[in-house]
Chain A
Amino acid sequence: MSDRTQKPSLLSKDFSKLFSPIRINADILEGDKSLALYEFVSIFLPNVGPSIFNFLVDMEKHSQKLIASIEPKKRERLIKDLEGVTVEIHYLIKDKGKELVALPVNICPAEVLRNAMLAKQGSRYTEKMQEEISQIFVSFIAKEVQRRIKGMIESALKTLLTKPRMPAILKKLMGLGLVDKEGHLTEGATIEDLISGKYAGLFKKVVPEELINEALMLKETIKACYGWEGEDHLSSANDALAEKGILEIVLGEIKEKGRAPKEANV
């Protein structure tokens, strides 16, 4: 059998429980390439996710028809002979020869034949798998969004560090262990906490506009998510984003002037 072990994912999430044989090389996929690649795929290969899924499902469905016309003895022999054999289809995206994104589809003919013989519906490639594929792509884009936001925040922090007198806000952030001496965000500092969570108040003065950036990019993420699935949840998501955007501006404005109501964490 082929090795289906997942490489460490781009998202620092454990994808080992997911069935989808998709790998993303986190070490290489940096810079603007992932977003550019996403844009390229969105424009030129909008149905790549569902297409791969359909291809796999068609293959299994087709095998059921074929197996039905083969004598039982021959089926058994075929399964026995094909045991351990794998067919691998590699969908690769490379950057200067190095593997960037890989979709190594692993087909085990014996398993396919056995499932077809038992008339197992759905077998390995289920709707769950399709959702997993979408999840991975969406999370992959979300990671890129976070990376960009992190870059913007760190850039702003580094500028503050160059000032002759270190601003009090920065001292406070360093004291909380959120920022190191070089202006990098430390491991425990999540973007969510800084942008809209518990430390948002402290960061407000440093990165106010990035709040909106985050919302915009998240919108693109949602778009991608629903694009893959072909379902129309976008309008409600759009509404929620628009309302959230307005409230961010409204609550941010009153907080900025020191008239914030309690717990205004925007």
Chain B
Amino acid sequence: MTNIRSLIYVPVLHTQKEAGEILLSLKRDEAGASSDTSLVEQEKSVKEMWDGIHEKIQNTNISCPTIRIYQDAMPVCGREKEIAEKLAQKASRNHQLILELVKNGANIEGTEDPDLLIEEYGNLSQLIGKAAVSIQSYRDSLNEYKEKGALLMKKRDAFIAERIKSTLKEGETPLVFMGVRHELEKLLQSSFAINYIIYRLPFKKVGDIYNV
């Protein structure tokens, strides 16, 4: 009987608060430190969520050098660490955590097909472009994006699943950070025993966190 390996799956929850965090942080770089109360609260909440995930990863007691990290939107390009560094500088907690793990010996792996990411970028640009025109235009475009996006996401997931299976070395544990739109687990559950790491914040309602 084949021994099924363990995989750690961290659903990256794009909270409404966190979604703009990277962009807000970039803005703050230009405008100087902000004393805005809501922004401070946002920072605190997002930090708390990622601290919680960090703690849970540590509690798995898996040695960092045996961890291979697979990250949403991380292209196969040979510059994965530099990209993580750049995004970490831009206040992405997700990437800050990855860098810390890498510093402790974890390996980061190119995860996604760059051409599919470009396609995704094109779809998003189109969607956002429509948002500036009118609400109706955005609504129509959002529906169109969802249709195109579902097909594209299947292709992305298929690539990622194959990437994990083909790059994972003997004795390593895959640590997968994926956005909630991905359905990667469906493609992995036959090959891995999936352990989910989810940290929930004490928000007033679930919708505040999960954009539902």
| A and B interact | yes
- Residues of A that sit less than 8 Å from B by CB: 131, 134-135, 138-139, 142, 192, 196, 212-213, 215-216, 218-219, 221-222, 225-226, 229, 231, 233-251, 253-254, 257, 259, 261-266
Question: Measured between alpha carbons, how far is A235 from B20 in the docked complex, in Å?
Answer: 9
Contact status B125-A196, CB under 8 Å: yes
For chain B, the bracket of interface size reads 35 or more
Known: A241-B19, A249-B90. A138 touches B75 (CB 8 A): no
Asked if B193 lies at the interface with its beta carbon under 8 angstroms from chain A, I say no
Say if the beta carbon of B79 comes within 8 Å of chain A: yes
A212 touches B23 (CB 8 A): yes
A251 and B90 within 8 A (CB) = no
A211–chain B nearest beta-carbon distance, Å: 10
- Specify which of B14, B78, B79 is in contact with A242 (CB 8 Å cutoff): B14
Which residues of the other chain, B, contact A242 by a CB distance below 8 angstroms? 14, 18-23
Question: Separation in Å of the B181 CB from the closest CB of chain A?
Answer: 9
- Can you name 17 A-B residue pairings with CB atoms under 8 Å? A196-B125, A216-B27, A222-B128, A225-B132, A235-B19, A237-B128, A239-B211, A240-B124, A242-B14, A242-B21, A243-B14, A244-B128, A246-B22, A250-B73, A251-B118, A253-B83, A266-B118
Does chain A have a CB within 8 A of B120? yes
Q: How does the 8 Å CB contact mask read for B74-108 relative to A, with 1 for contact and 0 for none?
A: 11011100110011001010000000000000000
* A215 → B minimal CB distance (Å): 6
Chain A residues whose CB sits within 8 angstroms of the CB of B118 once the complex forms: 251, 261, 263-266
- What is the CB-to-nearest-CB distance from B203 to chain A, in angstroms, rounded to a whole number? 13
Within 8 Å by CB of B132, from A142, A229, A234, lies: A142
User: What are the residues of chain B within 8 A of A226 when measuring CB–CB?
Assistant: 135
Question: Which residues of the partner chain B approach A131 to less than 8 Å between Cβ atoms?
Answer: 134-136
CB distance from B31 to the nearest CB of A (A): 10
Q: Is the CB of A243 within 8 A of B87?
A: no
- List, in ascending order, chain B residues with CB within 8 A of A212's CB: 23, 26
Return A79 CB to nearest CB of chain B, in Å.
Answer: 35
A245-B121 in contact (CB<8A)? no
Q: List residues of chain A with CB within 8 A of the CB of B87.
A: 246, 249-250
| A209: min CB distance to chain B, Å | 8
Q: Which chain A residue shows the least CB distance to B89?
A: A249
B64 an interface residue at 8 Å Cβ cutoff? Answer: no
Taking the complex as formed, is B147 at the interface, i.e. its CB lies under 8 A from any CB of chain A? no
Q: Which of B20, B87, B90 has the most CB of A within 10 A?
A: B20
Check B16–A238 contact: CB distance below 8 A: yes
Cα of A260 to Cα of B133 in the assembled complex, Å: 31
Q: What residues on A are CB-neighbors of B26 within 8 Å?
A: 212, 216, 245
Given A238-B16, A250-B83, A253-B82: A221 and B120 interface contact (C-beta under 8 Å): no
A259 touches B79 (CB 8 A): yes
Complex contacts, B134 vs chain A, CB 8 Å: 131, 134-135, 138, 225
Q: Which residue of B lies closest to A253 (CB)?
A: B83
- Please tell me if B139 contacts chain A, counting CB pairs below 8 Å: yes
- B138 contacts A254, CB within 8 Å? no
List 4 other contacts, CB 8 Å, given A237-B128, A242-B20. Answer: A235-B16, A243-B14, A244-B125, A261-B114
Q: Which of A225, A235, A236, A245 contacts B22 (CB 8 A)?
A: A245
